[in-house]
Amino acid sequence: MDLSLNDDQIAILDTIDTLAKPYASPPMQDISFALTSEELDRELFDGGFLDIAFDPDLGAVSAALMIERLARLPYTVEAAASALIRPLIGADLPRPICLVEEGKGRRPVRFLRPGATMLVVGKAQVSAFTADADHIRIEDTLYGYPMATLVVDPAAAGAVPLDVSADELRTRWRVAIAAEGAGLLAAALASTAAHVTDRQQFGRPIATFQAVRHRLAEAQVRANGAYWLAMKAARTLDPGDAALAALHVQQSAGPAVYDFHQFLGAMGVTLEHPLHLWTYRLKALIGDLGGRGEQGIAAGAAIWG
């Protein structure tokens, strides 16, 4: 298997790195649980980056690579659903694209705001409506994303069925979870490694202690596995591959987040350090699409029927 990026993918990631450079560090004066940038979102959309999966020569793998890279930023942007799921439903629906499972609309939804497209995913059908201010309640959230709760029944909000496979949409949703989670794991690990390399205890850097190094190495293995499973799932768009990739990210997030914050000690529970901008988003992803239990069931059903 050739694991090398092609020239188009390298060019896309290089351009994204250049575009995102002003957003690579959190602002000094903005201490908050979530960072967003309308300018970054607009630049990504106007530049066509959120449309790359519409191009059959680029496809879902290029979209997943972009999602993973953007997730490493301290700023969060609605790229996963727009890049991977919008090709199924059409380019003309207003962004952001928000996802909720049928019957679970009373939980906070990432990026939900007035004017967003709300996709309601049932067992066999997908419906959609455009949210307005009466449909939602904006939440104060610790989870690193802007969130709101849907306070009306989708049918009452005017949801209409879409001609799209619910199973195919769930597969892409899982790939999106895996790709975004892989980027968050990588960024949180890099932030933690930088801290324990600089921070000294007992006259030596924390990173030189064997127990810390072992757990950092385990986190690196988890992050690497998340990346490659996400890329494989994006390449095959196989339901089993997608479920396993999402399961691995959701399973890895818990112990990784625990270790990262423990290694930072008291600094790990402050807002002055940016670690929470990645780890709290990981915590939000743990519950997406039914969480680990649902991914495990889906993986078993796909693999063993």
Q: List the one residue out of 85, 102, 110, 290 whose CA is nearest residue 184.
A: 110
pLDDT on residue 69? 97
Q: Note the pLDDT tens digit of each residue in 264-301.
A: 887 777 777 889 999 999 999 999 999 999 999 999 99
Report how far residue 89's alpha carbon sits from residue 169's, in angstroms, rounded to the nearest whole number. Answer: 9
Q: How far is Cα of residue 26 from the mean position of the Cα atoms in its chain?
A: 18
Q: Note the pLDDT tens digit of each residue in 163-203.
A: 999 999 999 999 999 999 999 999 999 999 888 887 767 77
The region, left, alpha or beta by phi > 0 then psi within -120 to 50, assigned to residue 25 is beta
pLDDT on residue 28? 75
pLDDT on residue 200? 65
Bridge pairing between strands 147-150 and 136-139: antiparallel
pLDDT on residue 103? 80
pLDDT on residue 296? 94
Helix runs in the chain, H state only: 7-20, 38-46, 59-71, 80-84, 86-89, 166-198, 210-236, 239-264, 276-286, 291-304
Token pair, residue 216, equals 């950092």
Q: Which 3 state secondary structure label does DSSP give 118? A: strand
Report how far residue 281's alpha carbon sits from residue 76's, in angstroms, rounded to the nearest whole number. Answer: 9
Report how far residue 46's alpha carbon sits from residue 121's, in angstroms, rounded to the nearest whole number. Answer: 28
Return contacts of 264-268, CB within 8 angstroms, 24+ apart: 264/192, 264/195, 264/196, 267/195
Ranges under pLDDT 70 in the chain: 1-2, 30, 105, 200, 207
Which CATH number is associated with domain 166-304? 1.20.140.10
Bridge pairing between strands 136-139 and 160-162: unpaired
Report how far residue 298's alpha carbon sits from residue 303's, in angstroms, rounded to the nearest whole number. Answer: 9
pLDDT on residue 270? 77
Token pair, residue 199, equals 């921070």
| In the chain, domain spans | 7-86, 93-162, 166-304
pLDDT on residue 221? 95
pLDDT on residue 1? 56
pLDDT on residue 46? 93
pLDDT on residue 2? 65
pTM above 0.85, yes or no: yes
